[in-house]
């Protein structure tokens, strides 16, 4: 009987703890506050590449990435560069050149990141004074982006703000308590943003 009594007390304590927990804190999405830009840059359309083949200046070229994502390299022709890292492109060029050059040493360097200007932007939409597309900057937060958009309008529902982040084929949404950030200085959901993030401030329902 004593054991049963103790078990009942433990269950009761767990139940009380669960009821006392703020439901919003259990359902609010979590995010890594240290998350920053992607570690490896993936080449995009219009980026300018320098392809260097060691001891073979005739094979070394400076080329833009065409709209089809390819570049043209002497001897081997077209090579897909879009969506790949410079190291991956260099490895593919090296593999194809081995039919023509003995032990080719290839380096691919990004000399102009033209596509990055578009891809690495943060967008703020919805009930803000000036919906805006901002160039991403290291250390930028949701508050920085919203202030750059002129802040929220009188019709906004700031505590229903959502951060949308695309990762691979999926998009993840994160709840943002923007009213608490702006009015009370509570920064728990003032997440660091990443390139490509979209912050949406909804309107109130009347």
State the Cα angle at 200 between 195 and 201, rounded to 5°: 140
* DSSP reduced 3-state for 182: helix
Give residue 197's pLDDT: 92
CA distances from 91 to 80, 81, 85, 175 (A): 12, 11, 10, 42
pLDDT number for residue 12: 47
3-state secondary structure of 8: helix
Domains parsed from the chain with CATH numbers: 48-116 (3.30.1950.10), 120-206 (3.10.560.10)
**What is the reported pTM?**
0.49
pLDDT of residue 45: 83
pLDDT at 117: 66
Ranges under pLDDT 50 in the chain: 2, 4, 7-8, 10-29, 31-39
With b meaning 16 or more CB within 10 Å and e meaning fewer, what string describes 24-53? eeeeeeebeeeeeeeeebbbbbbbbbebbb
Could you read off the pLDDT of 144-195 as tens digits, one per residue? 999 999 999 999 999 999 999 987 678 899 999 999 999 999 999 999 998 8
């Amino acid at each position: 009987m004593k054991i049963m009594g103790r078990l009942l007390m433990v269950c009761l304590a767990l139940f009380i703890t669960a009821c006392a927990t703020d439901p919003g804190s259990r359902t609010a999405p979590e995010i890594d506050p240290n998350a920053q830009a992607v570690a490896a840059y993936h080449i995009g359309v219009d980026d300018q590449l320098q392809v260097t083949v060691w001891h073979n200046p005739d094979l070394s070229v400076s080329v833009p990435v065409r709209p089809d994502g390819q570049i043209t390299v002497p001897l081997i022709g077209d090579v897909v560069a879009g969506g790949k890292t410079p190291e991956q492109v260099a490895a593919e060029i090296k593999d194809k050149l081995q039919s023509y050059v003995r032990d080719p040493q290839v380096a691919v360097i990004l000399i102009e990141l033209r596509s990055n200007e578009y891809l690495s932007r943060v967008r703020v939409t919805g009930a803000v004074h000036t919906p805006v597309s901002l160039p991403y900057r290291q250390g930028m937060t949701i508050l920085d982006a919203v202030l750059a958009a002129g802040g929220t309008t009188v019709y906004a529902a700031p505590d229903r703000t959502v951060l949308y982040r695309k990762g691979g084929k999926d998009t993840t949404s994160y709840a943002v308590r923007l009213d608490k950030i702006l009015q009370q200085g509570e920064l728990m959901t003032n997440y660091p943003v990443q390139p490509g993030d979209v912050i949406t401030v909804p309107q109130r329902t009347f």
